[in-house]
Amino acid sequence: MAIPLETFFLDPSNEGTLQARIQQMVAQGILDGRFRRGEKLPSSRKMAQHLGVSRITVTLAYTELVADDYLSSRGRSGYFVSENAPEPPAFPAQRANRSNVDWNRAIGQRFAPILGMDKPADWADYTYPFNYGQADPTLFDGANWRMCALQALGKRDFASLTADYFDGDDPQLVEFIARQTLPRRGISASPDEILVTMGAQNALWLTAQILLTQRRIAAIENPCYPALRSILLQSRCQLATVDVDEDGLVPADLPEGTDVVFTTPSHQCPTAATMPVTRRHELLNKAENEDFLIVEDDYEFEMAFLKPPSPSLKSLDKNGRVIYVGSFSKSLFPGLRLGYLVGPAQFIREARALRAAVFRHAPGHTQRTVSYFLSLGHYDALVRRMARAYHDRRRVLDAALDEHGITVAGKGAYGGSSVWVEAPNAVDTIELAKRLRADGVLIEPGSPFFAGDKPPKNYFRLAYSSIPAERIEKGVSFIGKAIENLT
C-alpha cells in the first residue's frame, strides 16, 4: 500500500535544514503509527515537487532514513517503511492540548449515551447469544440479496444509484410499501403520506422534532425502548411515563394534557405484550376526545407466528391521529438502517423537509436493492423462514424456562423474537449478565428500559433470533444455575 502524497507536509515551526526536517517528518509518521511497515513512500521526484524542494534534498533524507533502518530501498521499486522500523508505542504520548476553549461552556446541549445498553460486537463468538436484534446468517438469504444488489448497480438503475433525490425517495420502493407492505397491516396510504427513513429510530427522532416543544407533553410506556426515552429527553419536552400491564399501555393512566403518546401495541418493547383490539379502540377514542396524537411503532409486526396479528392502530384510525413507524431493519438485518414513516400528507411534508436538512435521503442504492428484494418475493420467503424458525425456538425456549423455574413476565400473544423475564428480587441482572459471559451466555439486563433513578434490577430480555434451537436448553440451564447462585 502506498502512502498518499498529501499526507506529507513540512511543519514551518520545526527548525533545522530542509533535509533534517524531511527526515523528522517521515520518522515522526512512523513513530506515531501513521506509516506502517511495508508501506511505500512517494518517489523522491514526486516528494520534491510536492514539498517544493530539490530532489537531491529528498534523496539524501531518504538515504539517511535507510541508514537508520526507518526505510528500506528496493532497487527500482522505490522506498518502503522498513520491516525493522521502530514500533510505535502501545499508548502514544498525548500531544499538548493547545485549545483554550472552555468546552463545558461551549457545548450548548449534551447528548448522553444510552446508559446500560451493552451491544457487544463479538456477540457471534458466544455459544449462547440470547441478545436481541442481530441477524442470523443461517436464516438470511444472502445469495438473493447479492443478486438484488448487483441488479441495482446495473446501467438500467444508474439514476437510482447516483441521483440526488434531495428530499425525495426511490419511487419504486415507496410504491411497494404503499401497495404491498402497508395493506398487510390494513393501512391505505398514498406516496405523499410515506417517507423512507434511516431505520425506525430515525423515524421516531423526526417525529419528536416535529410534534414536540418544551411546553408539550409526551407520554411513553414504562418500561420502553431506551433510545426513544433519550430522543424525547433531547427534545426537551415534558415527559410522562405510564406503566404497562400484561396487555401493554393502559389508556386510562395517560396524564391529562398529553399531546403525543408513543406506543408499541403489537409487541410492547421490551415486555412483548400485545394490546387487545378493545384497548386499541379505547386508546383511539381517548385520543379523539382529548385531542392528542399517537405514534405507533410497529417494529416487529412480521413476526406474528403464534396466530394472526391484531390490526394496527393506524388501520383502526378514522381521524388521522396515528403516525405509523415501520422498519425493514428488524426483518432483514440491523445494519440496513431502513424504515418508513406513514402519516397525513401535511405531517410527512414537514418530516421530509427536516430530513432533507439533516441528511437528504437514505442511499439510493440501498433503497433500490431493498425494492428488488421485496418485489421479487425474496422478502416474503425470508419472513416465512424466520417465522418457522422463531416458532420452533420459542417452543424450545418456553419449555426450558419452565423446566428451570424461570418466570416469563411478558407473554406476547403473537410471537416476536424475545421474551421478558423476571428474576427473583434479590438478583441484579447486570451482575447476572457479567457472570453468564464466562459461560458463553449473552443476555440483556432490563434496568435500562425503565425510567427513574431507581429502576428494578431483576428483569432481563432473552431473544431467540440469533441462537439455534439446539443450543437454547443448555444456555437456559446456565442462566438457571447462575440465578440460583445469586439467590
| pLDDT attached to residue 94 | 54
Q: Which domain holds residue 229?
A: 142-376
| pLDDT attached to residue 357 | 94
Range from 167-171, 393-397, 415-419 carrying the lowest mean pLDDT: 415-419
Same domain, 327 and 427: no
97: in domain: no
- How many folded domains does the chain comprise? 3
| pLDDT attached to residue 163 | 86
Same domain, 302 and 363: yes
Query: How far is the CA of 107 from the CAs of 100, 230, 236, 333, in angstroms?
Result: 14, 18, 16, 35
Same domain, 69 and 168: no
286: in domain: yes
pLDDT in tens, 372-404: 999 999 999 999 999 899 999 999 999 999 999
352: in domain: yes
Check: CB of residue 323 under 8 Å from CB of residue 207.
yes
Query: How far is the CA of 61 from the CAs of 1, 38, 42, 276, in angstroms?
Result: 21, 18, 13, 78
Q: Using CA atoms, how far apart are residues 401 and 480, in angstroms rounded to an integer?
A: 8
pTM, to two decimals? 0.83
Check: CB of residue 64 under 8 Å from CB of residue 21.
no
Q: Using CA atoms, how far apart are residues 87 and 94, in angstroms rounded to an integer?
A: 17
Same domain, 132 and 151: no
Same domain, 474 and 366: no
Same domain, 396 and 370: no
Same domain, 478 and 352: no
Better-scored residue on pLDDT, 356 or 487: 356
Q: Give the mean model confidence (pLDDT) for residues 51-64.
A: 96
Reported confidence tier of residue 306, pLDDT bands at 50, 70, 90: low
101: in domain: no
Range from 13-22, 117-126, 220-229, 264-273 carrying the lowest mean pLDDT: 117-126
Same domain, 455 and 368: no
226: in domain: yes
Q: Which three cell numbers stand for residue 27?
A: 520518522
Reported confidence tier of residue 460, pLDDT bands at 50, 70, 90: very high
Same domain, 347 and 225: yes
Same domain, 326 and 408: no
* Domain end marker among 376, 401, 431: 376
111: in domain: no
Q: Give the mean model confidence (pLDDT) for residues 322-348.
A: 93
Q: CA 237: distance to chain centroid? A: 24
The CATH code of the domain that includes 454 is 3.90.1150.10
Same domain, 31 and 64: yes
pLDDT in tens, 236-281: 999 999 999 999 999 999 999 999 999 999 989 999 899 999 999 9
| pLDDT attached to residue 70 | 96
Closest CA to 296 of 286, 309, 278, 283: 283
184-220 core/surface letters (b: 16 or more CB in 10 A; e: else) = ebebebeeebbbbbbbbbbbbbbbbbbbbeeebbbbb
The CATH code of the domain that includes 304 is 3.40.640.10
Better-scored residue on pLDDT, 114 or 249: 249
Same domain, 345 and 474: no
The CATH code of the domain that includes 47 is 1.10.10.10
| pLDDT attached to residue 449 | 94
Reported confidence tier of residue 182, pLDDT bands at 50, 70, 90: very high
| pLDDT attached to residue 458 | 95
Task: Please provide the average confidence, as pLDDT, over all residues in the chain.
Answer: 91
pLDDT in tens, 88-101: 776 555 555 567 88
